[in-house]
Amino acid sequence: MDSTQNLNLEFLKKSAKSILKNLRSGDPIACERYRRLVNSHGRDVKLADVQYFLAKEHGYSSWAKLKADNGSDLLKRALQDLNDGKAIVLFDDESRENEGDFVIAAEKVTAEHVNFITQYGRGTVCVSLSQQIAKQLQLSFTNDLQPIDAPNFSTPLDHIDTKTGISTKERAKTIRQIATQSARAEDFRRPGHIATLIEHEQGIDARQGHTEGSLHLMRLAGLRPAALICEILNEDGSMARKYDLQDIAKKHGLTYLGMSEFVRS
């Protein structure tokens, strides 16, 4: 894998856009190089298609895998932590909400995780979901008229095998079950105790919120696109900002990651 390491991601991203432009214009050199791509898609080739082929050319199974393996050491550590079932602190841009969330892979959530984030996060406990999983569970937006930057809340759920649904053990069970490939709409009571958030249809490219950011990280980590997230508040109830969040992450031994580490990659 040495030949695939330390790639210039910004250069590759620009290259993909340039190749797409040449393909759409019918440039013969570009069309010959990506002959299979053109034959498969005609002129309706998308940027994601070109990025996939670029990744394959460099020995990667996907564009997401290429980005993850060649990202910063901080991003790599965060992805490993998520795979190991650990929480991380994800911070968005200071010009946006200027807030941080605890993020945990939904498929790895335990009762201890739920207890930790409710005690030290103090915000709303939510599960962010891909559009595909939302459709699988027959979830819909609660408000179709929300502005693009507003979170897309949907119906809260409880798994049918829970009783009250509120204990940390039962909430953890609901969250893990939401993330399973075999999850069905009839497996859940609604409304329940686990709030759900549906990602923007264009993902992180259209909205740089914690919903989209957490799901982008799940995909980079090779995990199911479902994440447990919870806003972090200070002990006095105020929102934890950048330096507060850094202190909180350090106190609990968690990786602190800014959205800028992967939004531009």
Domains and CATH numbers, the chain: 2-69 (no CATH), 73-263 (3.90.870.10)
Residue 208 has a pLDDT of: 76
Q: Provide CB contacts within 8 A for 211, sequence distance 6+.
A: 126, 128, 151, 152, 197, 198, 199, 200, 229
What's the half-sphere exposure (Cβ side, CA atoms, 13 Å) at 116?
21
pLDDT of 221-251, one tens digit each?
889 999 999 999 999 999 999 889 999 999 9
Report the alpha-carbon distance of residue 191 to residue 206 in Å, rounded.
29
Per-residue confidence (pLDDT) for residue 169, from 0 to 100: 98
Low-confidence ranges of the chain (pLDDT < 50): 1-5, 145, 265
Q: What is the pLDDT of residue 265?
A: 43
Residue 142 confidence (pLDDT):
59
